Structure formats: C-alpha cells, structure tokens
Chains A and B, each alone.
Chain A
Amino acid sequence: MSRRLRMLAVTTVAATVLGLSRVGGTYAAYSDTSAVTGGTVGAATLVSPTVASSPCAAANNLLASTVTLRWNGVSPASGVNPPASAYEYAISFYNRSTNAQVGSTTFQAHSGAAGAVQSVQYNTTTLGNLLGLTLFGSYQYQVRVRAHLPGTGWYGATTVSTNFNLTVTLTLATYTCV
C-alpha cells in the first residue's frame, strides 16, 4: 500500500470516528415536564354529642340504686363521612373537687339512628369495679362524654358533661343528680 493510500485510509477512519462521535453527540434528548395539580384533599371533622333533655336520672332504693346518664348521639349530616354508626363514645369520670380523672375511660358504641339519645346506667357494682368505691364514702363525679372514632386517635371537639353525687354506706348507695 502506498504512503498516499495509507494516509487516505487513516484520514477516512478518523473522519468516520469523528462523524460517529458527532452522531453520538446529537442525542441531546427531548424532554417534557408537566406539573399536575390535584384537587383538595379534605379531612373529616367529627361531630359531637349534645346535652340530652334529661341527662341524669337517679333511682335509689334499698336493693339496687342506679344512676342513668343520657346524651344526644352524634348527628352528622346525611351523606357526610363518617356516618353516626361509625362513632363510639368515650366516657370518663372526674372528681369534681380535684378535676382529676378517676378510673379509666370506657367506650360505648353509638346506638340507633343519628341523633338518637344514648344512655349508660351504673350501679354500685359497676361503679365499684370502675372507680374503686369504699364501704363508706361520699363522691362527687363529673362524667364527660366525647365522640370517638374507633381505632383512631380522633375525638370530637365538644364534651357533654353531667354531674352526680354518690353516697355509700355499706350496701346502701344513694345517687343524686346535680
């Protein structure tokens, strides 16, 4: 191969490589972007129970005195999430003198239609188990009821409070709605 031909071949290879590299460099790829704006993600607001027309009823007798507490159940608007049936009520006892909670909070599921009156009844046995009564004692309680969504940390904003007193003398219990 002549010197001239070798130079021609070298030049051709170089040009080819250069051309390829240029071809490779043209891949400055197209791009496109799009900002997608979603709508509103809105959270529910729990509704709360309200004070019933007859929130406390005491029934005292020698054998089995009771106190019945009532409140109006939650009444979310129709079609609003969550429905009343999804609610439960958190019931807590407080010492009215110290404002300290007594015993632990109990829960009771909503019953009936939206807005239906809810109730809970206590006697000395149930209260004794819950609050730890003594054979001789005088107690001033405030019962606070709040709406709660089971399985979550969500509570209604408003509490329904009902006061009653309890006097215990051996097996005799006397309730007084305040």
Chain B
Amino acid sequence: MRRSMHHAAGRADHRATTRRATRWRVRASLGLAAASLAVVALTTNGSWAFWTDSSTVTGGALTAGTMDLQLQTTNPNGAVGLATAYSASDIAVSGLTPSEARAFPVTVKDVGNADFTYAATVTQGTSPSWGYAAGDITVRFYAGTPDTSDTTYPIQQTCGGTALTAAVAVGTSGTTVIPSRRLAAGASESLCVVVTMATTASNADQGQSGSLRFDFTATQVTS
C-alpha cells in the first residue's frame, strides 16, 4: 500500500515537471516569435534607420554649352565670340538724295548649342559723326533679302520679305529696328536693311555724312 502510494506520488511529480517544461517551451517560442515579428516590423518600417549603404558615383565631365551670335553682311562673317564688335563697312551709301534708298543683306547666325532670342537697335554712329537733320535718315529691317536691281536715279531699292518694324529715324539713342526674334541653335536668318533719305530731307543735308550703329543683343532661351 505504502509502496503503491509512493509510486502514485512519484507519477504526480513527474507530470507536474513535464507540464512546467512544456509551459516554458511555449513561452520561449512565443517570445522568440514576438522578437522575430518585432525585427520584421522594424525592418519593414525603417530599414533606412538601421541598414546603411553608400556609393560614390563619379560622373563624366560637365561641359558648359556655348552661345554666340554672329553676323555677316557682304563683309566676311564676324562678331565671333561674346561681345565682339562687327564692322559692316559695306552698309554704306554715297550720293544719297531725298527719297532714295539702298538695301543691304544682313545674316544673323546662332552659332551655339542653345536657341536664343535676339533684337537690335539703331543709333547714330560716331565715325563719321552725324551731320543730317533729325529724322532725315531712316532704317528699316526686313526678314528677307535685298532687291538691288534699281540702280538708276532715283535709286529706290527695297527688300523682299516681311518688314520687322516701320521705318525708324536714326537718332541719338537706340531705337528698336529688330524686335525680339527667336533663332534655333545652329540656324541662321537672312535679314535685309533699307537705308532711306526722307523725301522731305532738308536742303542742308546736301554733302552731309554719318554712320549707322546697330546693337544686337542675343539672350539664350531657357524654356
């Protein structure tokens, strides 16, 4: 009986021990699972906070674009480079009388790799100084080419194409003769300028002289 009771007590102890071990394993498993979930969760939300990487990227050479407005009349191509003057000595007239006009070609070139817009003004030149009465010499640009077929008095040459402005009197301050125009990179545009003496020119203009100055400004197109 005692032996029997002893055995019964031993089996009960064994079962209790087994249950504790099982509970510990379950708890450990749950803890491990929770820890794993936490790692996964943190990895999903903020790997940037824990995982880092770096890479140095070496690019190629950065080469600046170029821009250059160049001009050409019947004189050789010029105004090469930025802010370079151009001598259009061929835009000249002698023996001009009232109502007469002369036409000259002017080619504008976009020698660069960006489109630009350009415009121009006219002013009295300084060499020779201006001797004409105010308003007696006018200038008008056309998008076109000159018609110089008229060579007999009164010589009234014209330009084909579209006038860019009305005839503009040459004054002491710059007056627009070419409103802003766009020119594509690598392109050129044929213009024509007519220099005219007004029919009403003063008698005092006889034997006078002057020179014309055109200021071209080009600005890169950024959009």
Contact = CB atoms under 8 A, between A and B. Distances in A.
Q: Do A and B bind each other?
A: yes
Interface of A: 2, 4-5, 8, 27, 29-46, 80-83, 85-86, 149, 151-155, 157
Given A4-B49, A34-B85, A85-B153, 5 more contacts: A31-B218, A36-B213, A43-B205, A82-B97, A152-B201
Contacts of B202: 153
A31 B112 CA distance: 11
Nearest to B205: A43
B163 interface: no
A159 B85 CA distance: 46
B190 interface: no
B203 interface: yes
Interface string B83-107: 1111111111111111110000000
B164 interface: no
B171 interface: no
Say which size band chain B's interface belongs to: 35 or more
Contacts of A40: 92-94, 128, 209-211
B68 A4 contact: no
- Which of A5, A38, A40, A86 neighbours the largest number of chain B CB atoms within 10 Å of its CB? A38
A154 B218 contact: no
A107 to B, nearest CB: 16
A152 B85 contact: no
Those 10 A-B pairs whose CB atoms lie nearest each other, nearest first: A39-B92, A81-B95, A27-B222, A38-B91, A29-B220, A38-B212, A45-B207, A30-B67, A34-B79, A36-B214
A42 B100 CA distance: 12
A44 B209 contact: no
Nearest to A155: B203
Nearest to B210: A41
A68 B45 CA distance: 119
A29 B219 contact: yes
Nearest to A81: B95
A80 B94 CA distance: 9
A5 B46 CA distance: 8
B215 A42 contact: no
Contact of B214 (A27, A38, A152): A38
B16 to A, nearest CB: 46
Contacts of B215: 33-36
Given A149-B98, A155-B203, A37 B213 contact: yes
B62 to A, nearest CB: 12
Contacts of B205: 43, 154
Nearest to B110: A32
Contacts of A80: 95
A154 B203 contact: yes
Nearest to A46: B206
Contacts of A27: 222-223
A94 B154 CA distance: 32
B69 interface: yes
A41 B93 contact: yes
Contacts of B137: 41
A85 B200 CA distance: 21
A80 B206 CA distance: 14
Interface string B60-72: 0000010111010
B97 A81 contact: yes
Contact of A152 (B71, B79, B199, B217): B199
